[in-house]
Amino acid sequence: MYEYVKALHLIFVITWFAGLFYIPRLFIYHIEASEKASPEREILTKQLQLMAKRLWYIITWPSAILAVCFAVWLLILVPAWLQQPWMHVKLAFVLLLIVYHLKTHQIFKQLQRDEVKYSSKFMRIFNEGATLILFAIVFLVILKNAFNWIFGVVGIIVLGILLMLGIRLYKRIRAKNPEA
């Protein structure tokens, strides 16, 4: 039973992250479309709202709920994990992921109402939040007690810096070539 529950948990974690990785891209396109002239603006925003709605409600939310349900089931099957320090840290990152998901939902709802409150630059940076959380969780689960906390924290900070530098590089490339 354990292997089946673990497999289902992993499948829904993967599909949850797929949604969390893609929806901010749709937000970026929506924000940029809102800056275009009519009728292009209306056509693009309507299509992007539909795409976001389908992704969010058909894939991302159900995956989040199922991933959490299967995680709870795993903890019921292996309660000793709750005694492990690495699991406490992992659960803290999962809580952070849920907060990220809820903030993403708030932005989703705003854009569904055509309320643009963030810049595309902000959304590009926001988009990397799920990546940082994913890296932290995967390393915690794989390395468990062998995980060196100092190197782990430094690694996540370095990854964040590299992602920010990548965003700046992309911005420069895009400024030179708007079609990139």
Q: What is the CA radius of gyration of the chain?
A: 19
Q: Beta-carbon neighbour count of residue 76 at 10 Å?
A: 9
- Of 60, 59, 34, the C-alpha closest to 123 is 34
Q: Which of 2, 113, 3, 124 is nearest to 53 (CA)?
A: 113
Q: Which helix H or strand E contains 165, and what residues bound it?
A: helix 149-176
- Residues found in the chain: 180
The reply to whether 9 sits in an annotated binding site is: yes
List the binding residues for heme: 9, 90
List the binding residues: 9, 90
